[in-house]
Structure 1
């Protein structure tokens, strides 16, 4: 929906926002006048907007006459920028204030998990830089910040509670955080300074271009399970009726490449027959979450899962009248339905499978994609199965082609055979 010029909507409420003309900025404590219209109704906001615009443009005209004394000019400005707003703007030039403004602007678009992660990022940023005036953050200050981060440990608040940044830098026996973590914090301060530049609080965002190139390739960030790992997983899966998800979820991951939360949040109606093929319908309906738009897809259920009794299990759960496939899993703000299962799997993985920290539940996705790739399956089919973007090919397919039929995808999934005997539950 398009709004009249200078009318913006934040968290359901309407605001008036206008940039102060360059020739008048000497009179104002801010480069933008931002006033709440104190309404959630669009028509009412448009009505209030008319009067607001008249007052502000009248003030601009009076200031341009050059005939006002200093006291008169201050009075004109105070009428359209209240004292309280001036105080907020002044405080906002401190890094803590700017971060607060940035979070206010962005948090409506963030998931609870992202909000928690960003709070952690900005805590580190403030501890390293201090609560400085954002105008003082030149290139050298940000290079120094990056150098400091490269000497600090990961998860420093958990591992070294009570120690300051200065005290941590004096310790000689700490392992520095990864380049990926350093880049995460640099990205955070870069986003805040980009916001400041957009709001004309600063002239240049000196954080641009400070990302460190990582030597490892994306496919090396997590390791793939080898055949011995897969055998240990299949042999040690618990077969207790009270916790059916502990048996089925790793198997579904092994034979589908679905993400952990995609499996954990399955509802009864998400298993369905399409064109005679049993399928998982992966969608963002109800309280489910998807990583991105390409994650929404329909993929066949592997014959091995059907052979082991997944459809029979589904029918029993369906007839019991409960809405979801794994009722022992409860929803949490941060990780949805996967939180508790993820913690259990991490313990299971370390006790029964491997001590390699790079081998995690996500390794199943690597197993599936690598197995299909080595079998010569088309990249576009693999991408559709695991919910990956296909770049320019994806754009072409979305405009001119339809998704693959379940039978085509099922044929490709036939290559997911590990040669390991699996006992039923």
Structure 2
């Protein structure tokens, strides 16, 4: 048994060579061994080429470590954990040919295919979706999922509560369906589950497991406009926010992040993950560089952009704060925030802001940190700013012309964006930073 050559690949302890063939091997963590049939995962990489082994091992390492993280999250039931385990340690036993592919088997196969494409957050969300679907339908053969099966599924979803596993962990599906006066999950949540089933059956149809996708065309119509999902902050809300923002030098993020959101429309995670080097002076304009370098994430391609720092934020002392961070050789702007696999850097701050928002600002459940984006968008729209400028400011695609813009159009110059962002004038007094 010959170990993988040191220096060619970082996972030296996980790769070895036997009779010229490269293999991957990793120990199952002690706290997870109860879920696995063996204490060690071992797979042939089926190649004699070191470079090919490296590429395959990177993918395999990612999948296995992601599986460990998902199982540790505590969000999955026994059936879903078994699916995740079998996606990396396939069972030698196959479903009966006469019965067909079972729902849990199909979910495991589909999840394995999508793992490299999905973010950890999507993996967790889809795990929750499939867990509920299996609870409702049972581990049926996929070929037995008829149109009537899907109509019955949709009917039950419309009567079940949101957060079923958190609020009613002891009740069965049937018990919940028989309980009176339970607020049902939203139409959006129902459609998310129907969409998950539709995507799964589409995969099954492509693989020849079923002949038709019986989950298509079943999403419910949600007549609410997109801008009704969240409410914008009022001027009185903003006054309460700025009056209550802590200015403690030990927690600078609690002062600056809400203000940056208020005067830029950036998403919470975009602000939370900023590195010191992401604040740049471009053509004489201070800007936030929103990018996915290092451990940062973007929601979509349109999210990568330059956003001018509002003069009001500069006036309050942000550049001085930036220089202090540089002098201290801090890599990121908010060193109190820690990275999580699913939420990035925003989890801890998001929980604090939710408490702050409810205690000092409003009890309206539709008013959240995301309301700053609505505030920025609405303020600029009312000022007559063209949609494409607003879209670039907040990181949306440019509507029906997005393909033309992305192929042939250039980004707006920082000076033009600055002329737009200065229109965000809320007429409120804000105590300056004194860190």
Q: Which of the five TM-score ranges fits, normalised by the shorter chain?
A: 0.7 to 0.9
Give the match's secondary structure for 1:266.
Answer: coil
Task: Name which of 83, 98, 101 aligns with 2:106.
Answer: 98
Partner of 1:365: 373
For residues 206 and 137 of structure 2, the distance between their equivalents in structure 1, rounded to whole angstroms, comes to 21
Q: 1:378 to 1:128 in 2, by over 3 A?
A: same
1:388 matches 2:396? yes
C-alpha displacement at 1:44, in angstroms?
8.0
Shift of 1:299: 1.3
1:5-404 aligned within 5 A: 38-39=46-47, 84=92, 87=95, 93-404=101-412
Any idea what the Cα deviations from partners look like across 1:146-198, whole Å, max 9, x if unmatched? 00000100001100111110111111121111111100110111111111100
Partner of 1:58: none
| Secondary structure of residue in 2 paired with 1:108 | coil
Deviations 1:223-249 (A, max 9, x none): 111111111111110111100000000
Per the TM alignment, residue 215 of structure 1 is displaced from its structure 2 partner at its CA by: 1.5
Q: Which residue of 2 aligns with 1:78?
A: none
Instruction: Report if the CA contact (8 A) 1:99-1:122 is conserved.
Output: yes
Based on CA coordinates, which of the two structures has the bigger radius of gyration?
1
Counterpart position of 2:30: none
Structure with greater helix share of residues: 1
Output the CA distance in 2 between the equivalents of 1:150 and 1:272.
Answer: 49
**Contact 1:92-1:98 within 8 A present in 2 as well:** no
Q: Following TM superposition, by how much is the alpha carbon of 1:39 offset from its aligned partner in structure 2, in angstroms?
A: 3.7
Q: TM-score, length-normalised on structure 2?
A: 0.78
Q: For the residues of structure 1 that align with 2:94 and 2:263, how far apart are their CA atoms?
A: 60
Tell me the secondary structure at the aligned position of residue 116 of structure 2.
helix
Would the alpha carbon gap of residues 207 and 307 (structure 1) be closer, same or farther in structure 2, given more than 3 Å must change? same
Separation in 2 of the partners of 1:340 and 1:307? 27
Cα pair 2:136 2:153 within 8 Å, conserved? yes
In the other structure, the counterpart of 2:71 is none
Classify the secondary structure of the residue corresponding to 1:212: coil
Cα distance in 2 for partners of 1:273, 1:149 equals 51
Q: Secondary structure at the match of 1:317?
A: helix
C-alpha deviation, 1:110, in angstroms: 1.1
Rate the CA distance shift 1:338–1:44 in 2: closer, same or farther, 3 A: closer
Quote the offset at 1:210 in angstroms: 0.5
> In 2, Cα distance between the equivalents of 1:352 and 1:38?
60
Cα distance between partner residues in 2 of 1:366 and 1:187: 27
* Number of the residue aligned with 1:406: 414
Question: Is contact 1:92–1:101 with CA below 8 Å preserved after alignment?
Answer: no
Give 1:37 deviation, angstroms.
7.5
SS of structure 2 residue aligned to 1:281? strand
- Distance in 1 separating the partners of 2:52 and 2:98: 31
2:85 counterpart residue number: none
State the distance in 1 between where 2:167 and 2:294 align.
37
1:422 corresponds in structure 2 to 430
Unaligned runs of 5+ in 1: 1-35, 46-82
Inter-partner Cα distance in structure 1 for 2:319 and 2:45: 56
RMSD across aligned positions (CA): 2.0
In structure 2, list runs of 5 or more residues that go unmatched.
Answer: 1-43, 54-90
1:398 deviates by 2.2
Partner of 2:23: none
Aligned partners of 1:264 and 1:338 also within 8 Å:
yes
- Could you give the per-residue CA deviations for residues 23-79 of structure 1, whole angstroms, max 9, x where no partner exists? xxxxxxxxxxxxx9834959989xxxxxxxxxxxxxxxxxxxxxxxxxxxxxxxxxx
* Structure 1 residue matching 2:288: 3-state secondary structure: strand
> 1:91 touches 1:97 (CA, 8 Å); kept in 2?
no
Q: Secondary structure at the match of 2:171?
A: coil
Counterpart Cα distance in 2 of 1:359 and 1:202: 44
Q: Distance in 2 between matches of 1:181 and 1:254?
A: 29
Q: CA deviation at 1:220?
A: 0.4
